[in-house]
Amino acid sequence: MKPVQRIQANLLAKAERRALTWICARLPARVTPDGLTALGLAGAALIFAGYALSSVDPAWLWAVIAGLVVHWFGDSLDGSLARFRRIERPEFGYFIDHSTDGLANLLILAGLGLSPFVRLDIALFALAGYLLLSIHAFLAARVTGELRLSYLAAGPTELRLVLVAITLSMFAFGALPVSASGVTAFDLIVGGVGIVMVILFVVQTLATARQLTLR
């Protein structure tokens, strides 16, 4: 597998990298990258359950917040710990990390769509936008050797913080309907994010295609 250069220019990248390095230096030996990957997926499952069960009791949204913290910890630290300990497995790590990311994103957005705050079709549209950007990133990594992990100065950590803010707003204000048809403010936010990601996919695809024609 050819070495891939990771491009990460999100707002919190530098501060997050310092925090992750600090944590990696203090994790006990029994904590492994594979265990952290599993922990991140468990966090996504907790997010799914919290959103889905918020239709029964909005207090379940606190489980979503906890799940986002767990997901950040596991998903951000698995590769960081492998690199810190110099035990990387490039092919296995690349495959497993991005495979579990896809499943985690499905759990998160499907759970959001099963909540009383966002319609399922809108949540799945946002998932489609996210997966399109992921497809672009993986294809670009193959043909250019660069794996872009952020767009418009936002990466997975910033998106988690947006979800934290949205979830706290759900708990504080309820569904916030904006039309008689039942469309909520959260439908507009999540749908808007999905539209932005689809546009980014088209723009980045055209830019990469142009870059390749000039080689």
Task: Quick: pLDDT tens for 137-182.
Answer: 999 988 888 888 888 888 899 999 999 999 999 999 999 999 888 8
Homologous superfamily of domain range 5-213: CDP-alcohol phosphotransferase transmembrane (TM) domain (1.20.120.1760)
What is the model's pLDDT at position 180? 83
Which positions ≥6 away from 184 have C-beta within 8 Å?
117, 118, 175, 176, 177, 178
Measured CA angle at 148 (ends 162, 123), to 5 deg: 40
- Confidence band (pLDDT; 50, 70, 90) for 3? low
Two tokens, residue 143: 């043909």
3-state secondary structure of 119: coil
Burial class of residue 30 in the structure, from the number of CB atoms within 10 Å of its CB (0-12 exposed, 13-18 middle, 19+ buried): exposed
Residue, of 2 and 82, whose pLDDT is higher:
82
Check: pTM over 0.85? Answer yes or no.
yes
DSSP string computed for 6-70 = EE---TTHHHHHHHHHHHHTTS-TT--HHHHHHHHHHHHHHHHHHHHHTTT-GGGHHHHHHHHHH
Cα-based distances in Å from 102 to 21, 38, 99, 116: 25, 13, 5, 24
What is the model's pLDDT at position 46? 98
What is the model's pLDDT at position 203? 96
Cα atoms in the Cβ-side hemisphere of radius 13 Å centred on 163: 30
